[in-house]
Amino acid sequence: MPQERHFTRTHPDARQIGDKPKSDLIDLSIYIDFSAPASELDNLATFLTTAGFTVNAVNPVRHHLELSATVLLLEQLFATSIAVFEDVSGDRFFAPSNEPILPTQFSSLIVALVGMDSSLQATPKFRIATAATISYAPPEIAKAYRFPVLPAAGRRIALIELGGGFHSADITAYFNQLNLPVPTVTAISVDGGSNAPSTPTSSDAEVMLDIEVAGSAAPGTAIDVYFAPNTNRGFIDAVSVAANSLPRPDAISISWGAPEQEWAPADRNLLANIVQTAATGGTTVTVAAGDNGSSDGLSDGLAHVDFPASAPYALACGGTRIQLTPAGDLAAQTVWNDLANGGGATGGGISRVFPLPAYQAGARVPPSVDPGHPAGRGLPDVAANADPQTGYQIRVDGTEMVVGGTSAVAPLMAALIALLNQEAGTPQGFVHPAWYQTLESPPKPPPFFPIDTGSNGAYKAGPGWNACCGLGSPIGTNLKP
C-alpha cells in the first residue's frame, strides 16, 4: 500500500472566509500504525491527555483513539490553522489551511488524523429512474444471476450509510409483499450519526436500496446499518467499527465514494488498509464503482476512478443493463451507459494511486488512457444490473420506486457472499485471487457471464477482464468454493 502521510485534502473550489473560533471543540480520531503494539497507543493517549486533550476512547483492536480538543489546542499541537471555508454551492465547513505537523516522537506512529475537516467526503451511488422502465424485484435479479437458493439465517451484512434513514414499517411492508422473512435490521450510530429518514428522493433511497436488495437477495440474513456523518472521520470510523464488530459480518457493503484525488492521501491509505484487514480476516468488502462513467464525474478531460472501490482488497462493483427472458433467465447484458441522454454510466478504469495487484497480473489490465498511460489497479472486479431503466423495485418512505446505480450492485454482491458463506460454512473473505484465477484456468461451467459490448466513456468492454465490467457478472451457483 502507498504510505503517504499527507493529512489534508485540497478544496480548490472553496474560498476561505474566516477562522474557526479558538474555543470551539472538535472531535478527532487518530489512527496509529497497524503493526504497532498496544502500548504505543497508551503512550500516545497519555501524551495527549497531558497536552490538554480529552481522550474519550482507546481502541487497541482498531488502533484508534477518540479525542476532543479545542481549536486552540489542535492548532498549537499540530502547528496548523483551522479555517472556515465556503464552497461553490454556499455550504460552509472547517478544515486546516495548512498541512498539520505531527509531534516528532509520534511522526512515524500516527498514520491518520481525521476530524479537522468537516467537508462532505462522499456521494451515494444510486440513480432514481425518471421515465417508464423495465424493473425487477431484487430476488428476480438474484435468480437471473443464479444465486444459491437457501436461507441465509445466521449470516450478517453490514451497510455503511453517510446519511438518510429507514422506517421499520417500510421494511416490514416490503418483505411481506415479497413473501420473504422480514430481516432483523439494526441501526448503529458512529460519531453521532443516526437513522434519520426524511424524503424518498434523499439518501433514504440509498439506505432502503441497500437494505432491501441485501435482505431479499439473501433471505434471512441480519443487517446492521452503520450511520455516520458524511465526513472523512465518519466514513473511516464507520468502516473501522463495522470491520471489527462481533460477530464479524460476512460482508460490508459500501455504496458511497469519491474520486481518488478527493481524498487526503493518509485517509485513503488508512481506509484501504482497513478494507485489507477486513477482507483477509474473512469479511468481504463490496463497494460501488461509481455512476458517472470513466470520468467519475470530473470535468478535467481525464479518466478517474472512485475510492474506496479502487482499494485493492475491495470488491469493486460495476454496472450493466440487462434483459431477462419470460422465464426470468438472463437474455442479454451490456455495459450500463446512458451518458448520451444525460443519465449515468458505470464507473471503472485504472487507479492512479494503487499499483497493479498480484491477483490481476494475468488479467491483461490495460494501462490508463490518460497521458503517460500509467499502470495500476484495474476496476471494477465484477458487475451486475445497475441501469435505472432496468432497475430495482424498492420502497422508500412509503413510496414505491425504481432505483439503479452501482450502489445496487454492492449490496447484491454482499448478499451473494452471504449465501456462498452459508453454503460453504466458512467465510469467503478475500475472494479476488480465486475469482481472477478463473481467467487463467477457466473452469467448466464458467463462474461469470461475460460482458463484452458497450463502453463507459474512455474504456470499452471486450473479452476477458475489462475496465467497464471487470470479470463479468456472477453465476452464483458456479462460484462455489
What positions carry a catalytic annotation?
Answer: 206, 210, 407
Residues in the chain: 481
The answer to whether 206 and 392 have CB atoms below 8 angstroms apart is no
Distances (CA, A) of 197 to 14, 170, 248, 381, 397: 29, 11, 27, 32, 8
CA 352 to chain centre: 18
Angle, CA 188 vertex, CA 113 and CA 197 arms, to 5° = 105
Please check whether residue 402 is in contact with residue 392, taking contact to mean a CB–CB distance below 8 angstroms.
yes
How far apart are alpha carbons 116 and 130 in whole angstroms?
38
* Beta carbons of 455 and 461 less than 8 angstroms apart: yes
448 neighbors 438 (Cβ within 8 angstroms): yes
- 295: phi then psi, degrees, rounded to nearest 5: -85, -15
Task: Reduce the DSSP state of residue 66 to 3 states and report it.
Answer: strand
**Which residues in 42-176 belong to E strands, given as ranges?**
54-59, 64-70, 82-86, 92-96, 110-114, 123-124, 127-128, 156-161
Alpha-carbon dihedral sign for residues 29, 35, 39, 44: negative
Question: Considering Cα of 295, then 300, then 303, then 305, what sign does the dihedral take?
Answer: negative
